[in-house]
Structure 1
């Protein structure tokens, strides 16, 4: 669930960031509204909105299951945050790079794909890993939609065995190990990026 949400969020965030940078008139306004809403409301409210609220308005959504609702909610929520990080990274690329690309006749798409985005990705990578860590921890909210992920399974186990402390301390340790592993990867990436910049 976390991996799928992260991949989809990264794709959406990149698209939103490009729209914000290039400033397509109507799309830019819509993207600003999207980012404002999903950054300004709690994730749990968004999950409930997708799972319980929207099916009441649109009958074709009544078949949506908890996993799908969780993936959609996590994807949209984190794409809003990631979009701003990617946008900042894109704007951080030296203006001479933009001008050089334009001077040799590159289109906006070619310039973004070949020159700007690869450089922005190096800058944004540590922050995006932080969001991935937050996303992994946020998957624990999926159990409120009836999804039997780690937290949901722990809830059932604890309710059956009455070993609440033992069960949830194991869950905490699992999350801790996963997050620390990602933090280790993040530190390695940051070290490599700092060395690349210093050369």
Structure 2
């Protein structure tokens, strides 16, 4: 039975950390895109905007109904055949865009559900004092809905972070690809993937801690 190579694992950790900026960069940029697009789609659904509402339904159905890996391959390898200008898109940009578009569909549903969960009297009271619907949504409804949507959104953030591991399939040099290369060259598969798992786990622990602090902050008014 082969013993666990602790020195190798200790040497591998700094190498994975050196590739962490790429992972975190994709996570942050994709999260901003997904959150912004998800909010827009949620508002389209809540306000039942004609035409756009149907397109939003199709968008959400497609991105929730097809595998993320297929979407990444379609975006990076497939669309450039139709749009030659997309050949200049780097793998990092393609993964970031793909993650953002994919998780926007889940965040849209979380935000929509949270908005619908707010009592309609909140909107009615806002309109009665002279606010328009968008102002009432921004100043009254969304602050309350954010507290309800936070757990669901945080789950999406965590899934997005872990899904950056698929970037290695497009050749992005992030922590998953670094672990893959090291494991293939050293044959220390257990050590490489265990250290990788611990890095992801630590990142998720930090995000969970941030979620609890945010929930406490939002809950102070209640």
TM-score, structure 1 as length reference: 0.94
Q: Hey, what does 1:137 align to over in structure 2?
A: 162
Cα deviations by residue, 1:132-182 (Å, 9 ceiling, x for unpaired): 111110000010011111101111222222222211111011001111222
Q: Hey, what does 1:72 align to over in structure 2?
A: 97
**1:196 CA displacement:** 4.4
**1:126 CA displacement:** 1.5
Which structure 1 residue ranges, 5 or more long, are not aligned?
none
Report SS of the residue matched to 1:62: helix
Q: Hey, what does 2:135 align to over in structure 1?
A: 110
Cα deviations by residue, 1:34-66 (Å, 9 ceiling, x for unpaired): 001001111111111101110111111111111
Which structure 2 residue ranges, 5 or more long, are not aligned?
1-25
Alignment of 1:21-100 (within 5 A): 21-100=46-125
Q: Hey, what does 2:39 align to over in structure 1?
A: 14
Alignment of 1:174-185 (within 5 A): 174-185=199-210
| CA distance in 2: counterparts of 1:128 and 1:162, whole angstroms | 38
**1:89 CA displacement:** 0.5
Runs of 4+ in structure 1 off by over 3 angstroms are: 187-197
Larger gyration radius, structure 1 or structure 2: 2
**1:191 CA displacement:** 4.8
Report SS of the residue matched to 2:100: helix
**1:188 CA displacement:** 3.9
Q: Hey, what does 1:101 align to over in structure 2?
A: 126
- Is the contact made by 1:126 and 1:189 (CA closer than 8 Å) also made in structure 2? no
